[in-house]
A and B are shown apart, each in its own frame.
Chain A
């Protein structure tokens, strides 16, 4: 079956422009996560969706970052007025939470979107 897909795979933009990154999770996965991996850095959590709601958005670095999820499926991460420090690989993951609250919560990662802000 299809895994997690992300688009675009690469995005080059100019400082100050807005960008939208898309994530298509595995069908039926209720949980969706956005992470960021800056050059030479580890992964950092951005936001978590359960269905269409985001119970944890504490990792978003500033109010220029927002995300939404519609229909319990596709999610879009939007970065407004991009800055050079936003350059990173943005990774999306999805998981199928058990009714017990996460004990079988293996996360499946997408290939990422490499964002370069010039």
Chain B
């Protein structure tokens, strides 16, 4: 079993739909990251959180430390949101090393 698991692996949505991507982890963490990887391969850090909720534009990330679970929500989705979304965790014993989920491929159709 991977330390970080994401669901779904693939997600297709229509423009405007509300999207949720889930991440579950099995280790104690000091921080959780959500990353976005575009078709060209570039990776952008979207959020880093250790508790509660963060919002940036149409993106919202939440984390429940007790349940070892995080969600990434996209409101009013747009085709330009099409990308791979990756969850990664940092544990207190691993310094700044990140352990990654397999990623969720999101396709938003116009």
A and B interact: yes
Answer whether residue A95 sits at the interface, using C-beta atoms and an 8 A cutoff.
Answer: yes
**Which of A33, A44, A58, A107 gathers the greatest number of chain B CB atoms within 10 Å?**
A107
> With a CB–CB cut-off of 8 A, which chain A residues contact B99?
45
Q: Within B61-110, which residues are at the interface with A (CB < 8 Å)?
A: 86, 88, 90, 94-103
Q: Within A25-56, which residues are at the interface with B (CB < 8 Å)?
A: 31, 33, 41-45, 48, 50, 55-56
Interface size on B, residues (CB 8 A): 24
**Which of B30, B86, B96, B102 gathers the greatest number of chain A CB atoms within 10 Å?**
B96
Could you list some 16 contacts between A and B, CB below 8 A? A31-B96, A42-B102, A42-B103, A43-B86, A48-B95, A48-B96, A50-B95, A55-B95, A102-B90, A103-B31, A105-B31, A106-B48, A107-B45, A108-B45, A111-B42, A112-B42
